[in-house]
Structure 1
């Protein structure tokens, strides 16, 4: 099992660079950031553009995979996103993963291009088309595509990806249509656990929900001919998973349970000093020293 850290793009780079470098040096396997214009309770605070932040992160890290969790079709076009992804794959030396999801109404991106919020159906349709077109763009030097939501005319992606035949895509999905996309196009799959967080979940219920999603992904891969065993299955760990940051032992126990459920990659939010994801800022240092070696053996 691999372990990653999700770093919110909210600090000026003079300070943020140290954070990205530190987690890379601590030995975390992957480092990620959200791809939004702002985010929920932090909407009035600082929030920097994702792709430039990741390009800067590539310059101060050496080993960790870098990626978006996740890029949103609600405000991005596949041509621009793919072009940025190709550049990041090159700058990072082939360490970039493009995460893609439907986006969320609460994140503030689903109506930023106009006053009306995209419906769930519209967001799903845009997501499906975004993934299909992005796959073509990343595989081909020149792409022409006509869709209902996105189109491209002789879009050039030269020289193409460092990773072959294209850089990996991590598809965030829990519903049937999204899982079908992950099975067909994804080298990784992403879940944040239960979809209706507001209801409140015990750690056991969270684990059960993720296990059920893993089983649904396996079935989707069987139907589509996808390689379930080769797919990186990622859980972005959220509060319903329990008090997993209290000690390295607590993290190990949580990791064991999710490994048994079929998860291959845990992603932890970098602790913030206050507000959402507030936690002991040294927790991930202790986990790196006392738990990561054992987690890699799972």
Structure 2
């Protein structure tokens, strides 16, 4: 991959609003390229604290920042009609003055949001089947003057969103994909492919991601797409964080983070995302990583 390295931080909306806004501003001040924002009705992992709606918080954060990009990581398709999501993305693109990346995913069957909202909790197979139509509608609505589409699950009739986006032909689309069919959707529609591994060790996560990189390359080859035109994004997940009281391994030291990130880069990943520190005691290391480690990695891999 020849794409320049980019680093982002997923900031979960599970703290009071002033703290959430401060964290996003902090990410920008530290020089990160992007802030990632999650999409659920409540904290799906069982937390009882605050939780804020995706597009509302994104618009407010866009007004409170000037440089950092804002990524929906990721907007899940069961919660919104695709035409409405396209309009929300178009609006956010203008509010942010062209700093939006539209991340899309199928969501999680174990998310209690669907039960709470009284909406259908589609099977994984149906979610994947719907996703192809969903992303095509979002793509066309944001990039074309008028769109008519009739699919198995969705349709739009002479829909025209105005004005056109700030980013032309449309804001970048990020697709979260891990299984073979979703990887095919990413190869066909995405500007950025995003993945995460929930394997129990870092070594197993690397191995799983290595296999997915090979699979996405094969998906690109099948449709005649140059795989180097697809950026690869990876969210670094620590499976031990919950059992260790929120301590994230890659914030143990600058060297630990550097070594782990180097191994992810070696897989061909160009966009690497971290979780915002859960513990105050890891804040200083997080800041030193942002100021010392990440610029050095960008210089080394530029």
- Structures share fold, TM-score greater than 0.5: yes
TM superposition score normalised by structure 1: 0.91
Query: Shift of the alpha carbon at 1:227?
Result: 3.2
Query: Who is 2:243 aligned against?
Result: none
Structure 1 portions without partners, runs of 5+: none
Distance 1:108 1:134, change over 3 A: same
Query: Shift of the alpha carbon at 1:161?
Result: 1.2
Query: Who is 1:261 aligned against?
Result: 267
Give the distance between the partners of 1:243 and 1:48, measured in 2 at CA. 27
Report the RMSD for the aligned CA atoms in angstroms.
1.9
Query: Shift of the alpha carbon at 1:178?
Result: 0.7
Q: Is the 8 A contact 1:2 1:295 kept in 2?
A: no
Give the distance between the partners of 1:115 and 1:104, measured in 2 at CA. 13
Select which of 21, 25, 32 maps to 2:25. 21
Would you say 1:236 and 2:235 are equivalent positions? Answer: yes
Query: Shift of the alpha carbon at 1:48?
Result: 0.8
Query: Who is 1:68 aligned against?
Result: 72
Which stretches of structure 1, 4 residues or more, deviate above 3 A after TM superposition?
Answer: 109-116
Query: Shift of the alpha carbon at 1:116?
Result: 4.9
Would you say 1:271 and 2:277 are equivalent positions? Answer: yes
Task: Give the length in aligned residue pairs.
Answer: 289
Secondary structure of 1:38 counterpart: coil
Query: Who is 2:290 aligned against?
Result: 288
TM superposition score normalised by structure 2: 0.90
Structure 2 portions without partners, runs of 5+: 241-247
Give the distance between the partners of 2:115 and 2:227, measured in 1 at CA. 35
Would you say 1:89 and 2:88 are equivalent positions? Answer: no
Secondary structure of 1:66 counterpart: strand
**Equivalent residues in 2 for 1:107-126 (5 A)?**
107-111=111-115, 114=118, 116-126=120-130
Distance 1:264 1:175, change over 3 A: same
Select which of 112, 123, 143 maps to 1:139. 143
Query: Who is 1:80 aligned against?
Result: 84
Secondary structure of 1:190 counterpart: strand
Give the distance between the partners of 1:225 and 1:160, measured in 2 at CA. 29
Q: Deviations over 1:251-272 (max 9, x none)?
A: 1111111111111111011112
